């Protein structure tokens, strides 16, 4: 049964199709014809095919005569090329919007539609149908016409939507892609230019003679629009120039020298030097153009200062010096420090340029100070302190001057005594000229420095330096006498008021005072006397007066000048002692510099000088009073000075005695006047050093031991300490030690005198009758008092911190506004 069912459900497959053959390959034989004739019954279905209906639906040429059929085919053949031309107007549908059609060959075809397929109105459709009917071609049914119209409308709607979307909503994705592409291209160009700069720089450093043309390419890259590329180019050229610039100054050949025939090596060297010089000039011009822009200022100033420090002997040194001196008083700390460092290196390393750059820099600074009427930052003339002068050249110059004067006198006397001999004089003049020419040629050929030239440069430098210093002193005197309106430019660079350059000027005068000409020494001492007085100290004109530190500096400089020119100077320094006696009372710790006070005490009072007894006593009393009021470092420096004065002036030790009238001093004693302005009129010998008893209980052990040693004058150890250590050294040691000093207040046992004849038993009884409640109350009140004091100290510290932070924030806002204004400009 299963077999029968399987046989019933067997699938009978059709026979295989004959192979595809073209009509030309088909051959009908006689046997085929006989087979068809015999089996006509089987071919009846073929004869029953309605060929007319097939032609009607397939060819769409129904009701057409045979004569018109040929004409119709001809028209179709003519329309085919026209349709091919119209294929260009077809619009391909976006692959995202529609699926493709895949042929048997495996190719994908997307649907296409004409750009102007949709009819505008119904009248056009009727005309199309009439034309089709008139032509007798492609008669469509109603269903086909409706489908076609719907298709045309859909295509028209799609086109309208696409156009509206393009008009209303621009392609944001395309814009984003464009930006990303721009960023990628910018990064690629940046990396490529960076790589190019590195390659060119390495090639130049490896072989500058053959790759000198690369300098022009690097300079061209440094002129790019990108700021980062420009900075990299400037720094790369700086590194290359530092390495390849020769150790001599390049002189380009003249026109006559270019006409002369030279060897290939000389031509190559000339080309190398000319290319190097032209590119170096273009590099400096680029730096000058970018120096005013705030975004490039730091890089440009760094490049200029580095070149001035590395190659001060090379060409265009003057342009570099002008830029550096112009920015030496810049409000920007980085720019100012770079410029001051470059000038300082010029002064120290004179071997690189032979001293010529030093003279030029000093002259430019002097002109800069004169142009700005001394209203510059103190760092502007601070590099003068690093100048080095050869005293041997100075002495030789003076000897030459004396010898010239003697020779002139000798020649005058000789001309008067002897008759004129014209022939001998002519021969002698020719000999001297010849010897001078020989000496000049020898100096040019030898590498030894020219002594005469060095003397001239040193004298020019000294004259420019002292001209600047005296101009600053004169300007300060004018500001003290006529007020702040005397200065045309307001001072914004220093806290010293209208004289910001006075302190570095005084430091320079103290260092180079031995080089000042004696003709100007009297004027200098008069200036220092008037400046040490400090100007007008009234409340209305307080802004004109000098600070305590500046007045102390004037006194110190006056004594330095006097000691270095002791043989040729005879000046009364009593006025400076009077000023020091008054300055001690004006000193305030924290506001003024204690190191200057200690130095003034050392130079004016402790260095080997014998003082008058009245003056020494006045200073002893004033310094002892001073020690009670101020810090431990200042107090120790003052006590060291007091001990030194007491050891030198034995009669002043009467101040340590407690007798009436100051001890056993013979003669009449003037009355003590503590508010006297002159130490000789103070009458300090009539007083007693009661301050030492208070200083004996000072919290710092060094001050207390020093006070005890002075009051007893018996400690040999303290005497050795005083003889070795100066007030200046004592101040430094104690100021450094005080940073880690932690005072410990230990309760000292005080022996009281017994009153009457009280026994120890009575003391024990009184101790036993102490009320504990009273002790607790007293301790609690003191505890709360100490706690309140600590809370007040903490709150004050927090208040100081907040005020400081607010000040810093205000300063930050000001700096930010300045930067914004500079950027807008």
Helical ranges in 418-546 per DSSP H: 422-445, 451-482, 502-511, 521-532
Tokens at 171, concatenated: 């392609």
Domain membership flag for residue 436: no
Structure tokens at 168: 């209303």
Give the span between the Cα atoms of 510 and 469, in whole angstroms: 11
Residue 438 lies in a domain: no
Structure tokens at 772: 């504990």
Among candidate residues 363, 392, 421, the one where a domain is terminated: 392
pTM above 0.75, yes or no: no
Task: For the beta carbon of residue 497, count every other beta carbon within 10 angstroms.
Answer: 20
Q: Which of 359, 374, 392 is the last residue of a domain?
A: 392
Long-range contacts of residues 740-744, Cβ cutoff 8 Å, at least 24 apart: 741/700, 743/699, 743/700
- Domain assignment of residue 118, yes or no: no
Whose tokens are 């000075």? That residue is: 641
**Does residue 549 fall inside a structural domain?**
no
Residues in the chain, pLDDT under 50: 1-9, 82-87, 116-138, 168-169, 171, 402, 405-406, 410, 414, 417, 420, 422, 484-496, 538-543, 660-667, 714-722, 745-769
Contact present, 400 and 385 (Cβ < 8 Å): no
- Domain residues for 805? 779-825
Q: Domain ends where: 338, 358, 392? A: 392
Overall domain count for the chain: 2
Q: What is the 3-state secondary structure (H, E, C) of 674-713?
A: CCCCCHHHCCHHHCCCCHHHHHCCCCCHHHHHHHHHHHHC
Q: SS3 of 388, please? A: coil
CA distance 249 to 747: 78
What is the reported pLDDT for 569? Answer: 61
The answer to the question of residue 477 being in a domain is no
What's the pLDDT at 759? 41
The C-alpha angle with vertex 752 and arms to 707 and 689, in degrees rounded to 5, equals 25
CB-count burial class (<10 Å; 0-12, 13-18, 19+) for 348: middle
Q: Is residue 17 assigned to a domain?
A: no
Residue 797 within any structural domain of the chain: yes
Closest CA to 644 of 604, 673, 678: 604
Place of tokens 């091919």: 84
Radius of gyration of the chain (CA): 54
Q: 321 is written with which tokens? A: 């010096």
Output the pLDDT for position 770: 56
DSSP 8-state secondary structure symbol assigned to residue 465:
H
Does 8 map to a domain?
Answer: no
């Amino acid at each position: 049964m299963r077999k029968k069912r399987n046989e019933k459900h067997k699938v009978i497959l059709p026979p295989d199709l004959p192979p595809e053959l073209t009509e030309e390959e088909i051959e009908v034989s006689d046997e085929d014809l006989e087979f068809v004739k015999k089996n006509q019954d089987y071919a009846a279905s073929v004869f029953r095919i309605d060929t007319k209906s097939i032609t009607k639906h397939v060819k769409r040429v129904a009701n057409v005569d045979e004569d018109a059929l040929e004409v119709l085919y001809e028209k179709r053949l003519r329309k085919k090329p026209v349709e091919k031309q119209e294929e260009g107007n077809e619009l391909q549908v976006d692959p995202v919007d529609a699926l493709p059609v895949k042929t048997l060959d495996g190719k994908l075809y997307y649907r296409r539609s004409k750009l102007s397929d949709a009819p505008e109105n119904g009248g056009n459709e009727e005309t199309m149908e009439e034309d089709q009917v008139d032509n007798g071609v492609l008669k469509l049914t109603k269903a086909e016409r409706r489908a076609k119209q719907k298709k045309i409308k859909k295509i028209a709607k799609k086109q309208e939507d696409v156009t509206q979307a393009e008009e209303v909503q621009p392609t944001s994705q395309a814009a984003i892609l464009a930006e990303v592409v721009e960023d990628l291209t910018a990064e690629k160009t940046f990396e490529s230019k960076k790589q190019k700069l590195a390659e060119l720089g390495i090639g130049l450093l490896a072989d500058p003679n053959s790759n000198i043309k690369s300098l022009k390419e690097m300079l061209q890259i440094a002129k790019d629009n990108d700021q980062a590329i420009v900075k990299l180019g400037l720094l790369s050229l700086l590194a290359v120039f530092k390495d390849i610039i020769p150790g001599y100054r390049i002189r380009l050949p003249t026109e006559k020298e270019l006409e002369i025939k030279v060897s290939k090596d000389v031509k190559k060297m000339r080309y190398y030097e000319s290319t190097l010089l032209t590119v170096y000039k273009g590099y400096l011009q680029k730096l000058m153009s970018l120096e005013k822009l705030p975004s490039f200022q730091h890089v440009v100033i760094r490049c200029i200062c580095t070149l001035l420090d590395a190659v001060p002997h090379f060409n265009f040194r003057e342009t570099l010096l002008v830029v550096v001196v112009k920015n030496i008083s810049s409000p920007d700390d980085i720019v100012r420090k770079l410029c001051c460092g470059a000038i300082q290196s010029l002064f120290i390393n004179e071997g690189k340029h032979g001293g010529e750059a030093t003279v030029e820099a000093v002259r430019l600074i002097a002109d800069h100070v004169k142009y700005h009427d001394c209203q510059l930052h103190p760092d502007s003339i601070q590099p003068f302190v690093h100048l080095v002068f050869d005293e041997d050249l100075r002495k030789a110059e003076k000897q030459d001057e004396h010898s010239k004067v003697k020779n002139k006198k000798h020649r005058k006397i000789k001309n008067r005594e002897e008759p004129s001999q014209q022939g001998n004089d002519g021969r002698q003049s020719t000999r001297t000229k010849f010897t001078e020419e020989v000496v000049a040629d020898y100096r040019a050929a030898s590498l030894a420095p020219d002594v005469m030239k060095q003397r001239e440069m040193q004298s020019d430098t000294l004259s420019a330096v002292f001209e600047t210093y005296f101009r600053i002193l004169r300007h300060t005197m004018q500001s003290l006498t006529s007020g702040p309106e005397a200065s045309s430019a307001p001072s914004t660079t220093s806290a010293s008021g209208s004289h910001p350059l006075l302190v570095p000027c005084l430091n320079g005068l103290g260092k180079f005072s031995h080089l000042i000409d004696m003709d100007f020494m009297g004027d200098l001492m008069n200036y220092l006397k008037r400046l040490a007085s400090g100007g007008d100290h009234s409340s209305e004109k307080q802004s004109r007066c000098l600070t305590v530190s500046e007045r102390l500096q004037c006194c110190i400089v006056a004594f330095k000048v006097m000691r270095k020119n002791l043989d040729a100077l005879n000046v009364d320094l009593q006025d400076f002692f009077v000023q020091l006696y008054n300055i001690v009372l004006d000193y305030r710790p924290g506001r003024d510099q204690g190191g200057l006070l200690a130095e003034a005490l050392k130079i004016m009072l402790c260095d080997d000088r014998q003082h008058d007894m009245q003056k020494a006593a006045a200073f002893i009393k004033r310094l002892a009073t001073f020690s009670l009021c101020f810090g431990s470092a200042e107090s120790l420096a003052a006590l060291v000075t007091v001990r030194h004065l007491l050891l030198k002036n034995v009669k002043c030790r009467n101040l340590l005695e407690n007798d009436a009238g100051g001890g056993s001093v013979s003669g009449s004693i003037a009355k003590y006047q503590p508010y006297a302005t002159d130490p000789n009129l103070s009458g300090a010998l009539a007083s007693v050093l009661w301050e030492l008893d208070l200083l004996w209980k000072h919290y710092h052990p060094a001050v207390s031991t020093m006070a005890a040693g002075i009051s007893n004058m018996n400690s040999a150890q303290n005497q050795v300490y005083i003889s070795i250590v100066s007030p200046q050294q004592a101040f430094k040691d104690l100021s450094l030690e005080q940073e880690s000093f932690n005072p410990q207040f230990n309760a000292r046992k005080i022996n009281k005198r017994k009153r009457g004849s009280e026994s120890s038993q009575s003391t024990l009884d009184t101790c036993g009758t102490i009320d504990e409640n009273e002790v607790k109350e007293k301790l609690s009140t003191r505890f709360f008092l100490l706690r309140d004091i600590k809370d007040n100290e903490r709150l004050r510290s927090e208040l100081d911190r907040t005020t400081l932070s607010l000040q810093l924030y205000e300063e930050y806002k000001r700096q930010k506004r300045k930067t914004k204004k500079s950027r807008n400009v």
